[in-house]
Structure 1
Amino acid sequence: MVAKIFIDGEAGTTGLQIRERLAGRRDIELLTISPDKRKDTDERKRLLNAADVAILCLPDEAAKESVRLIENDTTRVIDASTAYRVAEGWTYGFAEMDKSQSHAIATAKRVANPGCWPQGAIATLRPLVEGGLIPADFPVTVHGISGYSGGGRTMIEDYESKGEDANEYLPYGLTLKHKHLPELQAYAKLGRAPLFTPAVGNFAQGMIVSVPLQLGHLARVPTSAQLHAAIADHHVAIADSFVEVAPLGDPAPINPEAYNNTNRMRLHVYANDQTAQAVLIAAYDNLGKGASGAAVQNLNLMLGVAADTSLAA
């Protein structure tokens, strides 16, 4: 049976990338809205209710409106906004978060696609909290740099118009109230909000998320081998995972653009046992695993097809 898919907001950065990944698939039918009717509520409502799965690539309030427009009990939803990521009744769409998460996504009616920033931190921190290597109330700091495509069309146009004169390193979110903090805290199983300092670099896409850990104040300080084993064991136990763990202290350079146009994520653990310090690093594509790739992976799970269908690994 061919599944009907409607991308509400297909003209935006995320929507365009999802559509590109789905192009040519024979197991789905893409429902398309005419450009002149993209803001036509009645037409959007018709397509939302005609779809087997609606993928929402919209700002938060517009995404909420789309959900309200669905009047049947058959249309399933993948929402790429921040509106429902910690909402009751919605399943978080990071399949590698836990061994049971793929099944939860596959059977869900409402899936909240994860933000790009939290995934790398969740992938490294959650196994350590669950394994008791760091306590839930441990003070966590998360740093990172992302390509300018993460800022949407306006930032893309701004950076590309400036060319080499664009800011090489632009910290933002300096009010320390970043919209991704609630999901990062919730799904990394942290008892307090982390200090999060994101930045944009002068490259189009790709990202690195870094979690430095000062472990010396813990009553029982985990070794580098224990940290690495906990993260590696967590991810090797997950079937059809796009997340891989590099060897401990891998000396290869880490390039934020290395996994562009794929759905891969590579995790690294570096540590100094003598100083009781460690840094956890995740590299992946902010438009792939961080957004559109994750949405297609979730769609595949919901449709019951291979997780890597139309996804470059």
Structure 2
Amino acid sequence: MAKIFIDGEAGTTGLQIRERLDGRADVTLASISADDRKNPAAKAEIYKNVDLVILCLPDDAARESVALADTLGEKAPKILDASTAHRVAPGWTYGFPELCPGQAEAIQAAQKVGNPGCYATGAIAIARPLIDAGLLSADETHAINAVSGYSGGGKAMIAAYEAGQAAPFELYALGLEHKHIPEIMAYGRLARRPILAPSVGNFRQGMLVSLPLALDTLPRQPEAADIEAALQKHYAGAKFVRVVTPEPGGKLEPQALNNTNDLEIRVYANAAHRQAVIVARLDNLGKGASGAAVQNMELMLGL
């Protein structure tokens, strides 16, 4: 039975991970008293006696916890960090098993894994296969649009939503410095910084991430069918990511995959105008956070 400690289990992601692990016969959860949560000696004692620590902490606290683990030598547990702190850090493996061939095996062998961000998961799931296939230029500035439930917008937005004070719809991060951009560039293989326009709708969870494309400006000037075929090839055999033919009507709502670890990709196109929009749908608390963490945990521990 694998022993796991969720460091920061009282937060949204930590609570969701704990809920997903409750009742499993192959996992036991270690815990720490509220008084000892910031006690390095108490934390070190727990770290030494578990197989894996999942960090659900602010970035600075996550860095401190990793530094603590590094002092334990051979007794150090494996680390899965759900914060932004180590997603593009040297020596860390990116926790998106479907990223490319061999990524799941890399996660399996890793001592330290950075769990992806929710917007980044959708954006990379779209862009990486197309860049690898030569159908999307890494040297262009791409615009990525996204909408999430309020649980993906941070503490202040969550508090407003839970108090019934949230706006019906809200664009944010308009300073164009969203914290997911570095990992989108690194693992989406984008040489130019994309323009990420995130937003929240007045619902708890669920997410749509979309990439609009003018087909005649792309390398090889592909048809929409070529784009869909490249995505299908990349995700062939994937358990949690699938490419879906769009339903008639030209509409898509964000909540259908809530409470799952699934991600769906659709290619919407207008052949006459040579335009397309690729849309990834996922649960920002599932494949975008706690669901991905459990998937990575299973790989890291051979469960």
Per the alignment, residue 75 of structure 1 pairs with 77
Q: Which amino acid aligns with 2:19?
A: E
TM-score, reference length from structure 2: 0.95
The answer to whether the 8 Å contact 1:141/1:212 transfers is yes
| Paired AA for residue 182 in structure 1 | P
Quick one: distance in 1 between partners of 2:271 and 2:221?
9
CA distances 1:50-104 after superposition (whole Å, capped 9, x unpaired)? 2210000001110000001111334100000111111111000011111211111
Runs (4+) of structure 1 exceeding 6 A deviation are none
Q: TM-score, normalised by structure 1?
A: 0.92
Residues 25, 219 of structure 1: alpha-carbon distance in 2 compared, 3 angstrom cutoff: closer
CA distance in 2, matches of 1:242, 1:218: 28
Cα pair distance change 1:219/1:108, threshold 3 Å: closer
**Residue segments in structure 1 that go unaligned for 5+ positions in a row:** 306-313
Q: Which residue of 2 aligns with 1:308?
A: none
Distance 2:218 2:210 in 1: 20
In the alignment, the residues of structure 1 paired with residue 44 and residue 153 of structure 2 have an alpha-carbon distance, to the nearest angstrom, of 28
Structure 2 counterpart of 1:104, one-letter code: A
Structure 2 CA distance for partners of 1:49 and 1:219, relative to 1, 3 Å: closer
Structure-1 residue corresponding to 2:27 = 28
Does 2:245 correspond to 1:244? no
User: What is the CA distance between 1:153 and its match in structure 2?
Assistant: 4.1
Q: Which amino acid in structure 2 is aligned with residue 233 of structure 1?
A: K
**Preserved contact between residue 216 and residue 222 of structure 2 (Cα < 8 Å):** no
- 1:122 is aligned to 124
- 8 Å CA contact 1:185, 1:192 repeated in 2: yes
CA distance in 2, matches of 1:124, 1:44: 39
The residue number in structure 2 matching 1:297 is 295
Please give the per-residue CA displacement for 1:113-144, whole angstroms capped at 9, x wherever unaligned: 00000111111111110001122112211001
Aligned: 1:112 with 2:114: yes
Deviation at 1:273, TM superposition (A): 2.9
Q: What's the offset of the Cα at 1:219?
A: 5.7
What secondary structure does 1:254 align onto?
coil
- Residue matched to 2:208: 208
Give the root-mean-square deviation of aligned CA atoms. Answer: 1.4
Contact 2:134 2:219 in 1 (8 A): no
Q: 2:188 aligns to what?
A: 188
Letter paired with 1:93: G
2:101 equivalent to 1:99 = yes
- Cα pair 1:216 1:275 within 8 Å, conserved: no
Give matches, 1:23-172, under 5 Å.
23-70=22-69, 71-73=72-74, 74-161=76-163, 163=164, 165-172=165-172
For residue 57 of structure 1, what is the amino acid of its counterpart? C
Secondary structure, aligned partner of 1:216:
helix
Q: How many residues align?
A: 299
* Counterpart code for 1:18: I
Identity percentage over the alignment? 53
> Is the contact between residue 78 and residue 113 of structure 1 (CA under 8 Å) also seen in structure 2?
yes
SS at match of 1:134: coil
- Distance of 1:131 and 1:262 partners within structure 2: 29
Q: 2:137–2:219: 8 Å Cα contact kept in structure 1?
A: no
In structure 2, runs of 5+ residues without a counterpart are: none
C-alpha distance in 2, partners of 1:209/1:192? 19
Aligned position for 2:177: 177
Shift of 1:39: 1.9
Mean alpha-carbon deviation: is it higher for 134-143 or for 268-277? 268-277
SS at match of 1:236: coil
- Whether the aligned pair in 1 keeps the contact of 2:4 and 2:52 (CA below 8 Å) is yes
CA distance in 1, matches of 2:201, 2:108: 35
Shift of 1:152: 3.9
Q: Which amino acid aligns with 2:12?
A: T
Q: CA deviation at 1:237?
A: 4.4
Distance 1:181 1:296, change over 3 A: same
Supply the AA of the counterpart residue of 2:285: L
Pair 1:106–1:291, CA change in 2 (3 A) = same
Displacement of 1:214 in angstroms is 2.1
Q: Which moved more, 1:63-72 or 1:151-160?
A: 151-160
Whether the 8 Å CA contact 1:48–1:66 is kept in 2: the answer is no
Q: Is the 8 A contact 1:49 1:72 kept in 2?
A: no
Distance 1:101 1:57 in 2: 23
SS, match of residue 198 in structure 2: strand
Instruction: Give per-residue Cα distances to partners, 1:25-53, cap 9 Å, x unaligned.
Output: 22122110112222222212221222210
Q: Within 2, Cα distance between the matches of 1:188 and 1:273?
A: 26
Structure 2 counterpart of 1:188, one-letter code: G
